[in-house]
């Protein structure tokens, strides 16, 4: 029986049998017991499926991963301790020292740092391209050692919308997969696999959890990328892994499971970036209402964006649901039901006015977080990008007056009244 996405938010990943718990059980155990060491040995050789140590796999986590897998329409998925871990694993699973990756320049600051500094130190070269690149510009960025293309459906905090089809086409033409961070859109508003993306990652810390309760990440494989057809580029998937007695992931697990099995068997084994089962349980509570919360986030953000764009003290508003926005048309294609609850805007009074405005807010709280039930606000020039001067901020696409507003699911009249009051006290 296959269900629609709203039903899958609630039921996918776990179906209790007669007399079993209605909620997913929290298997809070580091280890699992076996009757013979032969049986245990088979697990270590990837000869049989099962659990032996929660650094690699845990049943609660797998149930929640299976739910997200169903929401994205993938073939395999794994939970990780954070979005950062998910982004790192998704790339490092197929690219190593001496390799090259193409990434959109409009990505989360943490991801940019991971790529441009930390992974660069590991010997992986990154080329950052404009999210607005043409096919020719993308083509020109490829090298013989390119292993993946990376972008965000809706960039945090730039709010640019990725032309997924165009990026996927370029990636496939050069024999590599497209990895998409779908955190801001969530599978409720966009399913990148339907547009040609091969791998999807999320920071589940944001809308999926939705309550600012637990950190987490997830990687989902579409199962569509043909690793064997590009065996020279991806020997890690298509040639024997000596740490598992010569297992070949694509042969043994097939195209649907090879990528996630390798990431679990090698990277999770060696790095241990595992999500705690109790966090997975809380993430699952968030997922059950994701399809109800997302439309409310979008409707509230749309109303707030429209209100701000008409206000005399507001210099500019960036939200792809506004007709004048650069990404309005792309958003209609990829995000027909809405984008997300995050808006950025600037005040005519600039940086000083932004500081005063934020001080006067009562409902919206100042927080480094985005994408949860409570409206929150951040001034990047004073927080995440504090070390930059005004010129460096402009180069990073973040003006000194930029305020990032994450619109929650409170009554929109209260959110607007709060903004109205704070603006009335601002120069
Ligand atoms: C927050 C975020 C991340 C990092 O996730 P954490 O859970 O904070 O590690 C990655 N990508 C995007 C788009 C994000 O918003």
pLDDT tens profile 217-253 = 999 999 999 999 999 999 999 999 999 989 999 999 9
**Are the C-beta atoms of residues 279 and 215 closer than 8 Å to each other?**
yes
CA dihedral 327, 333, 336, 342 (to 10 degrees): -30
pLDDT at 397: 67
Q: How many residues does the chain have?
A: 427
pLDDT at 409: 98
Quick check: CB of 81 below 6 Å from ligand 1? Answer: no
pLDDT tens-digit readout, 137-171: 999 999 999 999 999 999 988 899 999 999 999 99
- Per-residue tokens: 149: 């293309």
Distance of CA 2 to the CA centre of its chain: 25
**Are the C-beta atoms of residues 308 and 404 closer than 8 Å to each other?**
no
Task: Residue 343: count other Cβ atoms within 10 Å of its Cβ.
Answer: 26
Phi and psi (nearest 5°) for 122? -85, 0
CA dihedral 244, 250, 253, 256 (to 10 degrees): 140
Quick check: CB of 153 below 6 Å from ligand 1? Answer: no
| Mean confidence (pLDDT) of the chain | 95
Strand extents, DSSP E, 130-273:
146-152, 178-181, 199-203, 217-221
Which of 80, 108, 150 most suits a substitution to test ligand 1, by most atoms within 8 Å of the C-beta? 108
What proportion of the chain, given as a percentage, has pLDDT over 90? Answer: 88
pLDDT at 182: 98
pLDDT at 383: 79
pLDDT at 395: 66
**Domains in the chain with CATH codes:** 5-285 (3.40.640.10), 293-424 (3.90.1150.10)
Report the distance separating Cα 203 and Cα 216, nearest Å: 6
3-class secondary structure, 225: coil
- Number of helices and strands in the chain (H, E): 18, 12
**Are the C-beta atoms of residues 290 and 188 closer than 8 Å to each other?**
yes
Quick check: CB of 426 below 6 Å from ligand 1? Answer: no
Q: Which residues pair with 343 in a beta bridge?
A: 405
Reported as a pLDDT band with limits 50, 70 and 90, residue 212 is very high
What is the distance in A from the centroid of ligand 1 to the CA of 256?
Answer: 25
Helices (H), 114-181: 120-121, 135-141, 164-173
pLDDT tens-digit readout, 269-309: 999 999 999 999 999 999 999 999 999 999 999 999 999 99
Reported as a pLDDT band with limits 50, 70 and 90, residue 368 is confident
Quick check: CB of 111 below 6 Å from ligand 1? Answer: yes
pLDDT tens-digit readout, 67-83: 999 999 999 999 999 99
CA atoms within 13 A on the CB side of 49: 8
Q: Which of 293, 312, 306, 96 lies closest to 212 in space, CA to CA? A: 293
Quick check: CB of 202 below 6 Å from ligand 1? Answer: no
pLDDT at 311: 97
What secondary structure letter does DSSP report for 58? -
pLDDT at 216: 98
Strand extents, DSSP E, 269-309:
none
Least confident of 78-92, 120-134, 397-411: 397-411
DSSP run (H or E) holding 377: strand 376-378
Interacting residues of 111 by C-beta distance below 8 A, sequence separation 6+? 84, 87, 103, 152, 181
pLDDT tens-digit readout, 87-122: 999 999 999 999 999 999 999 989 999 999 999 999
């Amino acid at each position: 029986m296959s269900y629609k996405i709203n039903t899958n938010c609630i039921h996918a990943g776990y179906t209790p049998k007669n007399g079993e718990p209605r909620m997913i059980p929290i298997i809070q155990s580091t280890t699992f017991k076996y009757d013979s060491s032969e049986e245990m040995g088979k697990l270590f050789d990837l000869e049989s499926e099962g659990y032996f140590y929660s650094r690699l796999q845990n049943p609660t986590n797998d149930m929640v991963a299976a739910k997200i897998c169903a929401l994205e329409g993938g073939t395999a998925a794994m939970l990780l301790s954070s979005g950062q871990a998910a982004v790192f694993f998704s790339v490092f699973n197929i690219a190593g020292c001496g390799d090259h990756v193409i990434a959109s320049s409009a990505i989360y600051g943490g991801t940019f740092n991971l790529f441009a500094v930390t992974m660069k130190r590991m010997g992986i070269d990154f080329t950052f391209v404009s999210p607005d690149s043409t096919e020719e510009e993308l083509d020109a960025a490829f090298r013989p050692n390119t292993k993946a293309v990376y972008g965000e459906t809706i960039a945090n905090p730039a709010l640019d919308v990725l032309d997924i089809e165009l990026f996927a086409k370029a990636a496939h033409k050069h024999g590599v997969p497209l990895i998409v961070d779908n955190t801001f859109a969530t599978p409720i508003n966009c399913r990148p696999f339907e547009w040609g993306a091969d791998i999807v990652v999320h920071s589940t810390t944001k809308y999926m959890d939705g309550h600012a309760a637990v950190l987490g990440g997830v990687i989902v494989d579409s199962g569509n990328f043909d690793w064997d057809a590009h065996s020279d580029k991806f020997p890690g998937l298509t040639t024997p892994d000596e740490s598992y007695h010569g297992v070949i992931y694509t042969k043994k697990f097939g195209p649907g499971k090879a990528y996630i099995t390798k990431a679990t068997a090698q990277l999770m084994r060696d790095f241990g970036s595992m999500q705690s089962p109790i966090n997975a349980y809380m993430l699952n509570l968030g997922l059950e209402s994701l399809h109800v919360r997302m439309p409310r986030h979008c409707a509230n953000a749309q109303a707030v964006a429209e209100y701000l764009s008409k206000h005399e003290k507001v210099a500019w508003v960036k939200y792809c649901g506004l007709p004048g926005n650069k990404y309005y048309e792309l958003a209609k294609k990829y995000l027909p039901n809405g984008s997300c609850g995050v808006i950025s805007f600037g005040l005519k009074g600039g940086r000083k006015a932004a500081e005063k405005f934020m001080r006067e807010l009562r409902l919206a709280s100042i927080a480094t977080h985005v994408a949860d039930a409570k409206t929150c606000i951040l001034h990047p020039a004073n927080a995440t990008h504090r070390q930059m001067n005004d010129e460096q901020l402009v180069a990073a696409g973040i003006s000194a007056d930029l305020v990032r507003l994450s619109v929650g699911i409170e009554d929109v009249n209260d959110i607007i009244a709060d903004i109205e009051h704070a603006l009335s006290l601002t120069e």
